[in-house]
Chain A
Amino acid sequence: MVDIRINDRPMKVSSDTTILEAARQAGITIPTLCHMEQRPPLGACRVCVVEVKHAPRLMAACATPVAEGMEIFTNTKRVRDGRRSVLELLLSEHNGDCRICVRSDDCELRKIAANLDITKVRYEGELPPARYDDSTPALRRDTEKCIKCRRCITMCTDVQGVGALAPQKRGYGTEIGPAFSLDLGDVACVQCGQCAAACPVGAIIETSHVEDVWHALEDPEKHVVVQTAPAIRAALGECFGYPPGTRVTGKMVAALRGMGFDAVFDTNFAADLTILEEGHELLERLKHALVPKETVGAAAGASQEGAAGGSAQGHGAGGGFNPRGGGGPGGNGSPTGGGDGHGGGSSERDGHGGHNGDGGHGPGPLPLITSCSPGWIKHAELFFPDLLPNLSTCKSPQQMFGALAKTYYAQNAEVDPANMVVVSAMPCTAKKFEAARPEMRSSGYQDVDYVITTRELGRMITSSGLSFDELEDDTTDSPLGQSSGAADIFANTGGVMEAALRTVWEVVTGSELPGENLHFQPAQGLTGVKEAEATIAGTKPEFSFLEGVTVRIAVAHGLGNASKLLSEVRRDPSRYHFIEIMACPGGCIGGGGQPRPTTDEVREARIRGIYAEDEGKPLRKSHENPDVAKLYSDYLERPLGPRSHELLHTHYERREV
């Protein structure tokens, strides 16, 4: 601890504190631009300058550690003048028009300028080269607005480990962007939008689908339905001044109805469905890896829930699998090479769900890795193509929803899918990319037409003239609207794992997932990579191959963490059975399309909101969702059945950019 004084007020702080942190502890606001929590200081922008007694120059508060006896002044004329000069210089090199800028409401540059009472700019700066980059489906870059704070780089390179954006050139000529001033579409970018979420100004934003949605709503010929992602209900309120984590599900539904959607559905429904499909996929892969070839057949009598029917066995994905002995399943046979190499495989394609993916091969290898995060999918296609066979073939809930909306629902509602428009409201920018993927047309049309982010939805509600505060809670429509609490927690890191375990555990053992209130604590929280294991006991006869098996799982959020975990999987393919990966830090609640700012505090608040939503539901497990059961009995028949494969599953490809 050291003694310091801030604005003449004495305080004790620990010696590894920066001036910025000390000031915050004292309740003093210091403006910052380049600074990001939990990241080493850059000291690049210098808007955070303060006066330190005896120091010849103003000091950057974010980059200066406190020292014994230090006397700091945050609000002298010298400080104000210093900050104003910095701001005026930034503004002089910034080419934007706040009147018509999408960031006018939450622009940090504008806000700091206003706080410093800047009404004119004394410098004539050189404007950066103007380039408008609309080369990717999800994002737009406007280099004229970039203030070179480098926050996007911190996200893209340090947090996500993608490295699409980096400083180019040097000195005054520095540009922040892809290699050699190329467009984002020319380099490897996963479309996660973390850059856009971090940018303090309007230099990187999501591609807007707002006009398209208004247009569709206006068109009397079109039947326009909307789905809302789990993560937005605990964040949308922030667009209207509610604290992070406030649950606004009912108001959100009311707003969407007020905006004129013909039906208001819920991606949550498709999340429950995902759990059934993916849960059974997991059981299949486990069975394939654990049951010795010779004894198969014996375990054939699969129940209605039991996708693990005795089929997939003849074709070894990756050679010998070890019969499990006692404790852990030493090497669960199929290492990463899985999906290929057994092309000639065997025959029993239409036994009880023996094949998955499009090819009719045996079940893919373990570990099974979740596939609901399109930023993660693109990351895998770019950087871990060898692990693509490990990815679940399940489409994301958004795309499952789209495919069902234009088939199952269209039939029920007697709507021509050609006249149907499916809109998604998502916390995610990568969902825009995903919806546009050419394979996402199982209905014969583009399954999801438009994707708006939480931020875009907030703006649409505002411009529709609805007063969000006053909206009465409303509920979603049938048949794609109902969901269990397990679907809600798809919103956060660890949630898909927990939701899957709630169902799989019960399918396998007939009893509830042990753990307080159905939670699986080890998967929760903001630790970058989480691991856990659970030993299965009390299996039903058809799952006796899992009796005593210790299933090892891992959860990673943020692609940098995911890459670390996957390097481990490459090194030791038998280490885990099941892995959840979400591209964004914190999971979808920290998505690139969520209201700004997203800090860890905000992430935690949103996660609390999501768990409260989960716990408030009468149904907590995906397999209890009656509308999902009805969908199976009326239409899909069974998890991993032929129609599921056609509509709900997909494939992946290696890519360069």
Chain B
Amino acid sequence: MACAQRDVPDEATIVSEVDAIVDAHAGQDGAVIPVLQSIQERLGYVPREAIKRVGERMSISYSELAGVVSFYSYFTTVPRGRHTVRVCLGTACYVRGGKEVLQKFEESLGIEVGNTTEDRLFSLEVGRCFGACGLAPVVLVDDEVHQRVSPPKVRGLLDAYRDAADAESSAEAAGTGGGSESAGGRAGGADEPKEGSA
């Protein structure tokens, strides 16, 4: 799989990750955004518990931090889905209908930009120019490039990933499956439809 999905970290993990990151930035002015960025990188998202912890450690209110996190589309407060869909809204893609494509994705996935579908299969994001303007509008799913995407193509594009996931999980159900789930911690990879055993 192109993008391994991580398990949702438990609170103790979040706290220790955050503490390590905050400590690494100790004494720096304006470290808030770098700290949040590191959290996003380490955990794949910025959970609310992490925001609370950053607030305690750095004496910034929860609401202010939430404001920062919700201001930058780079941050997400929900765990990533198995696949990250990035719709380009760079100039070339925008003028060739990127916005409509994005709308169609939001509609088909039933989520807004920055969120993850309930089955945690897809996260939806926007990008600014992937350097493939000749192929506009461009959509990246993980690191696969989809070119000249138009709204009618969206459903089929998504279904291909859904089918692959279904095939995989039934294969696993048939086989022994499960192993990676109980490995705990950050066990990557396939998750059963029921998630969150961590």
Instruction: Say yes or no: A180 contacts B61, CB within 8 Å.
Output: no
Tell me whether A165 and B70 are in contact in the complex, defined as CB-CB below 8 angstroms, given that A179-B51, A180-B48, A180-B77 are known contacts. no
Q: How far is the CB of A586 from chain B (nearest CB, A)?
A: 23
Q: In the complex, A69 Cα to B185 Cα: how many Å?
A: 68
A84-116: contact bitstring with B at CB < 8 Å (1 yes, 0 no)? 000000000000000000000000000000000
Complex interface: chain B residues within 8 A of A163 (CB): 60-64
| Chain B residues, CB < 8 A from A188 | 61-62
With a CB–CB cut-off of 8 A, which chain A residues contact B67? Answer: 166-168, 179
Known: A162-B61, A163-B61, A166-B61. A179 touches B66 (CB 8 A): yes
Tally of A interface residues using CB under 8 Å: 16
Partner of A170, one of B48, B51, B61, B70: B70
Asked if A23 is an interface residue, CB under 8 A from chain B, the answer is: no
B contact set with A: CB distance below 8 Å: 48, 51, 60-67, 70-71, 77
**B71 CB contacts on chain A under 8 angstroms:** 167, 169-170
Cβ of B56 to closest chain A Cβ, rounded Å: 10
Q: Provide the residues of chain B in CB contact with A166, threshold 8 Å.
A: 61, 63-64, 66-67
Q: Is the CB of B63 within 8 A of A187?
A: yes
Shortest Cβ distance from B68 into A: residue: A166
Q: Does A367 contact B (CB under 8 A)?
A: no
Bound form: Cα–Cα A188–B60 in Å: 12
A157 within 8 A of B: yes
Q: Name which residue of chain A comes closest to B112, CB basis.
A: A173
**B42 → chain A closest CB, angstroms:** 21
B64 in contact with A180 (CB, 8 Å): no
By a beta-carbon cutoff of 8 Å, the part of chain A in contact with chain B is 157, 162-170, 177-180, 187-188
Tell which of B48, B71, B77 has the most Cβ of chain A within 10 Å: B71
Chain B nearest CB from A181 CB (Å) reads 9
A-B contact pairs, 17 of them (CB 8 A): A163-B60, A163-B64, A164-B61, A166-B61, A166-B66, A166-B67, A167-B67, A167-B71, A168-B70, A178-B62, A179-B48, A179-B62, A179-B65, A179-B66, A180-B77, A187-B61, A188-B61
Q: Can you name the residue of chain B whose Cβ is closest to the Cβ of A189?
A: B63
CA distance A166 to B63 in the complex (A): 6
**Chain A, residue nearest B55 (CB):** A163
CB-CB < 8 A to A164: which residues of B?
61, 63
Instruction: Give complex CA distance A188, B56 in Å.
Output: 12
Residues in chain A near residue B64, CB distance under 8 A: 157, 163, 166
Q: Which residue of A is nearest B62, CB measured?
A: A179
Q: Tell me whether A168 and B66 are in contact in the complex, defined as CB-CB below 8 angstroms, given that A179-B51, A180-B48, A180-B77 are known contacts.
A: yes
Q: How far is the CB of B130 from chain A (nearest CB, A)?
A: 23
Contacts of A169 in B (CB 8 A): 70-71
Instruction: Report A-chain residues with C-beta under 8 Å of the C-beta of B61.
Output: 157, 162-164, 166, 187-188
Q: Which residue of A lies closest to B71 (CB)?
A: A170
Query: What are the 8 closest A-B residue pairs judged by CB atoms, nearest first?
Result: A163-B61, A179-B66, A166-B67, A166-B63, A179-B63, A166-B64, A169-B70, A179-B62
Contacting residues, chain A, for B77 (C-beta < 8 A): 180
Q: For B60, what are the chain A residues with a Cβ–Cβ distance below 8 Å?
A: 163
Q: Hey, which chain B residues are within 8 Å of A167, CB to CB?
A: 67, 71
Cα A178 to Cα B70 in complex, Å, equals 12
How far apart sit A434 and B77, CA to CA, in the bound complex (Å)?
A: 35
Closest CB in chain A relative to B68 CB, distance in Å: 8
Nearest CB in chain B: distance from A167 CB, A: 5
Complex Cα–Cα for A371 and B48 (A): 33
Given A179-B66, A180-B70, 18 additional A-B pairs, CB 8 A: A157-B64, A163-B61, A163-B62, A163-B63, A163-B64, A166-B61, A166-B64, A167-B71, A168-B66, A168-B67, A177-B63, A178-B62, A178-B63, A179-B67, A180-B48, A187-B63, A188-B61, A188-B62
Q: In the complex, what residues of B have CB within 8 A of residue A170's CB?
A: 70-71
Residues of B within 8 A of A178 (CB): 62-63, 66
- Give the nearest-CB partner of B48 in chain A: A180
B41 smallest CB distance to A (angstroms): 21
Q: Give Cα distance in the complex from A169 to B77, angstroms.
A: 12
Chain A neighbourhood of B63, CB < 8 A: 163-166, 168, 177-179, 187
Q: How far is the CA of A187 from the CA of B60 in the complex (A)?
A: 13
A600 shortest CB reach to chain B, Å: 25
Q: Kindly state the separation between the CA atoms of A306 and B51 in the bound complex, as whole angstroms.
A: 51
The smallest C-beta distance from A204 to any residue of chain B, in angstroms, reads 14
**B62, B66, B67, B77 — which one has the most chain A CB atoms within 10 A of its CB?**
B67
In the assembled complex, the Cα of A157 lies from the Cα of B62 at a distance in Å of: 11
CA distance A312 to B88 in the complex (A): 73
Q: Given the complex of chains A and B, what is the CA–CA distance between A632 and B51 in angstroms?
A: 52
Give the shortest distance, in Å, between B157 (CB) and chain A (any CB): 27
Contact of B62 with A187 in the complex, beta carbons under 8 Å: yes
Distance between B52 CB and nearest chain A CB, rounded to angstroms: 9
Smallest CB gap from B77: residue in A: A180
The closest CB in chain B to the CB of A178 belongs to B63
Chain B residue at minimum C-beta to C-beta distance from A656: B52
Name the distance in Å between A177's Cβ and chain B's nearest Cβ: 8
Distance of A170 Cα from B61 Cα, bound (Å): 18
Q: Which residues of B contact A168 (CB under 8 A)?
A: 63, 66-67, 70
Inter-chain CA distance A178–B66, complex, in Å, is 8
Alpha-carbon gap, A178 to B67, bound state (A): 9
CA of A157 to CA of B61 in the docked complex: distance in angstroms? 9
What residues of A have a CB within 8 angstroms of the CB of B70 in the complex?
168-170, 180
Q: In this complex, what residue of A is CB-closest to B60?
A: A163
How far, in angstroms, from A528 to B65 measured CA to CA in the complex?
27
Bound Cα distance from A157 to B51, whole angstroms:
17
Cβ contacts under 8 Å, A187 to chain B: 61-63
What is the CA–CA distance of A169 and B67 in the complex, to the nearest angstrom?
A: 6
Which of B48, B61, B71 counts the most chain A CB atoms within 10 A?
A: B61
Bound-state CA distance A168–B66 (Å) is 7
- Inter-chain contacts of B62 with A (CB < 8 A): 163, 178-179, 187-188
Bound-state Cα–Cα, A345 to B66, Å: 45
Tell me the smallest distance from the CB of B32 to a CB of chain A, in Å.
13
Q: Which residue on chain B has the smallest CB distance to residue A170?
A: B71
